[in-house]
Structures are given as C-alpha cells and as structure tokens.
Amino acid sequence: MSDSDLRKETILAAANNLRWEVGDNLHDTLMESIYENATSIANKVVEYPDKKQAFSLDRTLDKVLTSRYLGFPIMFMILAVVFWITIVGANYPSVFISSILVDSLHPMLKNFTNSFMPWWLSGLLIDGAYLAMAWVVSVMLPPMAIFFPVYTLLEDFGYLPRVAFNMDPLYKKVGAHGRQALTMAMGFGCNAAGVVATRVIDSPRERLIAIITNNFSLCNGRWPTQILIATIFIGAAAPAYLAGIASAAAVVFVAVLGITFSLIVSWGLSKTLLKGEASAFSLELPPYRPPRLLQTLYTSLIDRTIFVLWRAVVFALPAGMVIWLIANVTIEGNSLANHFINWANPAAFIFGLNGVIILAYIIAIPANEIVIPTVLMLTVANLGLNNLGSGSGVMFELDSVADTAQILHAGGWTLLTGINLMLFSLLHNPCSTTIYTIYKETKSVKWTVISTFLPIILGLTVTFFVTQLWRIFS
Amino acid sequence: MNEPIILLIIGIIIILILVFLFYPGKGIIARVKRSKNASKKILIEDALKYLYNCEYNQVVCSLNGVAGNLSISADDATDIISKLESLGLVDAKKNELVLTPDGRSYALRIIRVHRLWEKYLADETSISENEWHKKAEEIEHMLTPEQANLLAAQIGNPVFDPHGDPIPSENGELPIKKGKLLTEMQPGEFANIIHIEDEPYAIYSQIIAEGLYPGMQIRMIAVSDKRIKFVANGEECVLSPLIAKNITVGIKKLEKKISENYKTLSSLKVGEQGTILGIAKSLRGQQRRRLMDLGIVPGTKIEAELESVTGDPVAYRVRGTTVALRKQQADRIYLEG
C-alpha cells in the first residue's frame, strides 16, 4: 500500500470514529442551522408589502367554507350542482354528436367503402373500428368537456383544497389522505383522469391507496348505464307515481355504495398490502383567487379532456374490430360470441348475470360507454332477432327506453339481473384507458394487476351473495 | 329450490377458508412462513447475537440465559452451543460462554443487518415502531453482507439505529459503550435519551407508549427506589425503576440545550402565534423532510389560522403560505414557550 493510500485510510478511519461522536442527526442539525441563519438574515432585510385586505377576505371565506355547520352542506350542494350540470348538460351535445357520427356519417361511410371493399373489410373497419370510436367520442366527450372545466374552475378558485381539508378526518381514519376526496370526485368524471389527479397526493402510500380505490367512483361512462337499467328495472318495479324517484334513489344508492367501498378498501389496503409504504401528510391551502376562465378552459380541454379521449379512442379502435369479429366469425354455423355466451351462461347464472353481460364487459373494456350498445347487439344476435338492431356485429342503442326494455326482457333479464348489472357496473375492472394510466402512474405491474382484479373479485362476491339471498327470499 | 342455499353456504365456506389462509399475522400462510424461519441456522445466529450482547454489556452469559433468550429447552440450547463450539465460534469455559473472534464478527454481521433494517423501516416506511424489531429479527437472517452494504449506502450509511444503538461498520467496528442508565441520573440533571432497549417487548412497548424516544431531551426531577420522575417534552413522566433501567442517557456535544419552557404547536389556538423551536426526533425520514421543505424550521414564525370542520387538521400560516397539519404531527413540533 502506498503512503498516500495509507494516509487516506487513516483519515477515513478517524472520520468514521468521529461519526459515532456526533450522533445520528447531524444532517438535520446542519440543515436546521442553515435555515435558522437564513431566517434571521431574511427577517432583518426583507419587508413584506401590506396585503392585509385580500388576506382578510380569504379568512372570511375560509371561516364560512370550513365552518362547523355550513362546511359540509355547502360542499354537498356544490358537488350536487356540478354533477347535475354534467349529466343533464351533456345529454344535448351527446345526442347531436351521435346523430352526426353514428346516424349520418356511419351509413355514408358504409355505402362508400362497400363500393370498393369486400363486405368483411368494410364491416371490420366501419362497423367495428369506426363505430366503436364514434360511440366513445359521442358519449365521452360532452360530459368531460363540461365536468373537467367546472372542476378545474373550482380547483383554480381554491375551493377544492378546502374540501380536502374538511374531509381529512374521515380519510385519516381509513389510513388515507384528505386529498383523496378530490381524486375521488375527479373519478366521478373519469377514473383515468382521477388516477392522474392523484399526483397531488405527495405521500407515496396514500397516493397508491387513492389510485387503487379510484375505480369505485362511478365514472361518467357508467352513469348512463346505471340510469337506463334503474329506469327499466327498478322504476318499473315501483308504483308508477314513484318510478322516477325510485330509479333516481337506486342510482344514488349505487354511487354512495361506491364511496363506501372506496373507504373500506382504503382501510383494508392501509392495514395489509400497503402497511409498509412511506407516508407523510401535509396539505397546502392556497389563497383564493378569481378563476382564469380562458386558461382554465384551455388547460382542462387539452390536459384532461383531449388526453383521456385520445387514449380511449386508441383503445376503442382495436376493440371495435374484436367486437365485430366475434359476432361475425362463425364456427359450425354459430358465431364466436354465441359460443362464448352459451358456454358462460351457466356460470354467469350463479352470479345472477348472464353470458351476454360477461362477454360485453370483457370486450367493451376500452370504455364503459359501449357496454350497453354491446349488450344490445349481443342479445339481439344471440336471440336471432334479425328485425331489430343494425346487423351482425354492429352496436346500436335505441331512442326509446321501452324498446330497450323489450329486448332485455326478451333476453331473459329479470329485476335481479338489473340489480346485479348495476352492482357489477360499479364493481368491475377499470376500463383499459384507466388500467394503462394506472400503469403509467405507478410504473408497477403489481399495483396495476391489483387495481384491475380487486374490483372484479369484489363485484363477483357481492353479486354472488345478493343473488343467493334474493333467490332464497323470493 | 335448495340450490341457492347450497351455493350460499359454499360461498361462505370459501370466504372463511380464504380468511383462514390469508389473515395477516394469524393465517395459515403467515404461520407456515414463521415456522420455516425457526430453522437451525436462525437459532445459531440468534444465540451468537445474544452472546455478543452479553459481552457488549459486560454481563456473564450462561447456558440458561441462552435457552431463556431463544425460548428453547436447556437440551436444545446445549445442542446449539456444542454446534457453535464445533464451528469454532464459541469457547465454553466452565459456566461462561465466550465468543471467539470469528464468532464475534459473525454476530456483528447479523447485528449490522438488524439495525440497518430498523433504521430503514423507521425512515423510509410507515411501519409503526412496535414492529421494527420484529421485522428486523426476520430480515437479519436473509441479507448477505453485500446486500447490507447496498442498503446502508441507500439510506446514507447511518451510524445509529432508531433505538439509539450504534450500527456496526462494515468491518465490525463499534464504539465503546457510553452513557448511563436513567436510574443513575441526579435530580436537576439534563440529558438526552441515547438508547432504549427493545427487548423484552413488554417493557419496550410501555416505554414507547409514554412517548419516549432516542434523542429526546429530559430533566430529572426525583430518583427513588420506587419511582423515577422526570420532565420530557414539557410533560412530567413517571416510570418504575424496572422500566427505567432499559433507558440509557448521555450528554451530546453538538446538541444545544432546549429551553425548559416550550409548548407544542397543537396547543396554539386559532389566531395565536409562536416561534418554532424544533421538530421532535420521532418525526423521521420523509415526514421530517416534508415539514422542513414547508419551512417548519427553528426560528420561523407560525400562526394557527383555521380549524377544519372537526377540529383536526388545523391550518397554520408559515412563511406566507397556509399549510394544514394533522394533530399527530402538530403534537411533535415545538414552539418557544
């Protein structure tokens, strides 16, 4: 060993011995003393301009929005208004876009491609890929284009951090972060956007909890399914004058059930799988400020709406082709879809569902929006009702609820099937867009798989027990 | 007709079986994992560790002590010791068991992994302090020295574990034991807790329940055969000597003396202001860094601004921003009294 090496060794050994002397918190002590010096210097030389006016307005607002008696009622009212605007307001543009993309453009494209393509190619491309894409755009775009800007406005104004602040005790009890209330609310708009929104949770463990449980928020794509099925089955089971209220109550019940599940699962995860992950709480309450309308519109459209829509479209194209193929490829005179439905029916019966629903949820994985059109198409194809629908492998929806009900009843659906579909629609795997987003955000196959299969297992368990109890007591 | 009933029963049975299998800590899977751990290698390593601790604390170590510490019969203990002798790790002289140099370095390797892992759990995860020791007991038999070095590098080559025990260096160096027992302090004396013994578990969890932790500054009030009375974190604390014997105290050179008068951040009422004195040592790792990032460092002015609907969390104004903290955190941030 050379002389300098020896000297180095001696110095290192001496340094190591000194480390025992200075204790375990040398870094903190150093950092704290640096901050301390900086603060004392800053206190001497920095003056803060008088901002009393704006500040006191902030405090008054805060006092009201987080007050003991008004805090929660104001919060529920604001959220109710946001959802009402989204659901009611989205209807009109949705019908309009659908009439262009599905009702007008689809037949035109079909006629045009038929003129030079073999029937199977135009079926695959137009009836399959194009139609799935058109459906996703027309049903997904309007609610998002309304919900995201409104949500972003509330965020920009500074109200949402106060919601997290008020809700924190509840989330603390289940081992989560108060901001999960916000990502959950975002999930009501779109789970994929909700998963992205968990970036605001700076503590790794709480963020994972928020990501995995986001799917329990009933997203925009599932509201229409819930409303339709509730109207057909729950509304019809109630006396006529109560039908509207009964079906609305059923939908709200399912949404609240979703919130309950998200809390229970958060609690379970924080006690078991996620026990060891790092956790650190803090919540900044930014000052209130007038929302910047144009900027908000722009960012929420580009960052959230277009982003989510693009991913959904990318997934919808191949899925549309698969949907068309399984309805049109036949083996021994029966389509692949029919083979699967007949094969899955007995197993699905145990869960109070049917083969059509199972298949629809498997192939409509790109977007919850196309579950009902797929269910209708499969039911009609399975029953051989050739006078209904738009042809083999072509998804469709009916304007009249009564006609839809007729098809479902013909498919053997009962009140129990309806209830179970509503439950399964709440508790099943996230759509492929969300799954992909979860992977992008967590960079972990393990958590992606857990977020995907945990809700399915829960859903099958719940529908299973509901079905058995229903059959025993009815 | 009976079909749904049968299915229902089958469903319930399946769920019961799954619970039985996977219940954390008590399920079959957890039990099988644990029994697999009780292999001979682990017993040998645990015995070495125990012998080393005796040596470090300058206590004579007997065969019965080994049997008691590992909760095995005297026969099994004899078995283990003769195995250790044949491996050249232990010298048995009359009633005394002594480690050979090889045995000592083996024991230090295990202790190094154990304490590194405790430090890792304390700083980088949210596992509660009651479980650090138990988890480290498992992991210490699994990591190779290379893996231990990687782990050490990753968490900044720490020299003390969260209980205040020194972590042996890669070459097995340890400082000479310092400090004195809590029971040996004089009334009126100031000191820092430098070590809390984590075994036996029953006593350790009592100390933890009192909110005591290494690094904490205390002032002795009274020492007697029946009870030890001292001030810690501005609160009076009384322990029996039996428990107090598991706490070691010492004076640290670099530490500045925290004034006697201080209060916790959580004691501020809305509208009141205070100056931050420091963050408790028990807020570690990521939690501590996050608070410092937010500007919660000594000398900063802080004001309680807003209570949430239920009174927890509370929003504080610090350095021109408003930050909400949970009570559990505010309890561990100190202000000038």
Is pLDDT above 60 for A46? yes
Average pLDDT over residues B264-275: 89
Of all residues in chain B, what percent are helix, strand and coil, respectively (each to 5)? 45, 20, 35
B6-24 average pLDDT score: 87
Task: Indicate the residue among B188, B220, B250 that finishes a domain.
Answer: B250
Q: How confident is the model at residue B256 (pLDDT cuts 50, 70, 90)?
A: low
Helix axes A371-383, A401-410, angle to 10 degrees: 50
Judge whether residue B254 has pLDDT over 50: no
CB distance B147 to B170 below 8 Å: no
Q: Give the residue-averaged pLDDT of A118-129.
A: 87
Q: pLDDT at residue A50 above 70?
A: no
Chain A with chain B: Cβ pairs closer than 8 A: 159
C-alpha to C-alpha distance for B190 and A446, rounded to whole angstroms: 50
Residue B13 in domain: yes
User: Are β-strands B273-279 and B333-336 bridged in parallel, bridged antiparallel, or unpaired?
Assistant: antiparallel
- B88-97, B139-148, B255-264: which range is least confident on average? B255-264
B82 lies in a domain?
yes
Q: Are B298 and A16 inside 8 Å of each other by CB? A: no
Cβ(A192)–Cβ(A144) below 8 Å: no
What is the interface pTM, i.e. ipTM, of the complex?
0.77
Residues in B touching A420 (Cβ below 8 Å): none
Mean pLDDT along residues B243-256: 71
Residue of B nearest to A13 (CA): B173
Closest CA to A180 of A252, A270, A251, A257: A270
pTM for this model (two decimals): 0.80
Supply the angle between the helices A159-173 and A180-189 in degrees, to the nearest 10. Answer: 110
Q: Which of B12, B116, B159 to mutate to test the interface with A (most CBs of A within 10 A)?
A: B159
pLDDT tens, residue by residue, A6-42: 888 888 878 877 777 776 667 777 877 887 788 788 8
Q: Let me know whether B192 and B246 are in one domain.
A: yes
Mean predicted lDDT score pLDDT of chain B: 82
HSE, CB side, 13 Å, CA atoms: give it for residue A233. 22
Instruction: Say whether both B24 and B69 belong to one domain.
Output: no
Q: What angle do CA B94, B98, B100 make, to 5 degrees?
A: 130
* Same-domain check for residues B233 and B286: no
pLDDT at A396: 80
Instruction: Tell if the CB–CB gap between A284 and B323 is shorter than 8 Å.
Output: yes
Interface residue of B5, B178, B322 to substitute, partner A, most A CBs within 10 Å: B322
Q: What is the pLDDT of residue A390?
A: 62
Q: Is A278 in contact with B11 (Cβ distance < 8 A)?
A: no
* Average confidence (pLDDT) over A179-188: 90
Within a domain: B280:
yes
The answer to whether residue B128 is domain-embedded is no
Q: Is 90 exceeded by the pLDDT of residue A446?
A: yes
Mind listing the pLDDT tens digit for each residue in B91-128? 877 667 888 888 888 888 888 999 999 988 888 887 87
Do B314 and B292 belong together in one domain? Answer: yes
Is B194 among the domain residues?
yes
Asked if B159 lies within 8 A of A20 by C-beta distance, the reply is yes
Nearest to B216 by CA among B186, B244, B187, B193: B193
Contacts of B287 (CB under 8 A, 6+ apart): A279, A280, A281, B329
Give the pLDDT confidence of A216-265 residue by residue, as tens digits.
999 888 988 898 899 999 988 888 888 888 888 999 999 999 999 999 99
Model confidence at A315, pLDDT cuts 50, 70, 90, reads confident
**Residue B317: CATH number of its domain:** 2.30.30.90
- Neighboring chain A residues of B175 at a CB cutoff of 8 Å: 17, 20
Q: Into how many domains does chain B fold?
A: 4
Residue whose token pair is 């599940």: A261
Neighbouring CB atoms inside 10 A of A342's CB total 12
How far apart, in whole angstroms, are the C-alpha atoms of residue A31 and residue A29?
Answer: 6
Q: Which of A24, A58, A462 should one mutate to test binding to chain B, selecting the residue with the greatest count of B CBs within 10 A?
A: A24
Of B24, B169, B289, the CB nearest to A16: B169
Which strand (E) or helix (H) includes residue B263?
A: strand B262-264
Q: Which of B84, B99, B114 is the last residue of a domain?
A: B99
Is residue B70 included in any domain, yes or no? yes
Same domain, B305 and B239: no
- DSSP SS3 for B255: coil
The residue to which tokens 């100056």 are assigned: B275
Distance from CA of A72 to the nearest CA of B (A): 8
- Domain assignment present for residue B85? The answer is yes
Residue B26 structural domain: 3-37
A55 confidence band (pLDDT: 50, 70, 90):
low
Looking at B78, B99, B120, which one is the last position of a domain? Answer: B99
Chain A residues close to B166, C-beta within 8 Å? 20
Q: How crowded is the C-beta side of B240, counted as CA atoms within 13 Å?
A: 4
The CATH number of whichever domain residue B62 belongs to comes to 1.10.10.10
Residue B143 resides in a domain: no
Does A468 sit within 8 Å of B297, measured CB to CB? no
pLDDT of residue A467: 93
Angle ∠(B104,A24,B245) on CA atoms, nearest 5: 65
pLDDT, tens digit (0-9, with 9 covering 90-100), for B209-239: 887 888 787 888 888 888 888 888 767 888 8
pLDDT on residue A320: 87
Contact list in B for residue A168 (CB cut-off 8 A) is 308, 312-313, 324, 326
Residue A353, H or E segment: none
Give the Cα separation of B330 and B267 in Å (integer): 8
For residue A413, what are its two tokens?
């659906």
A318, pLDDT greater than 50 = yes
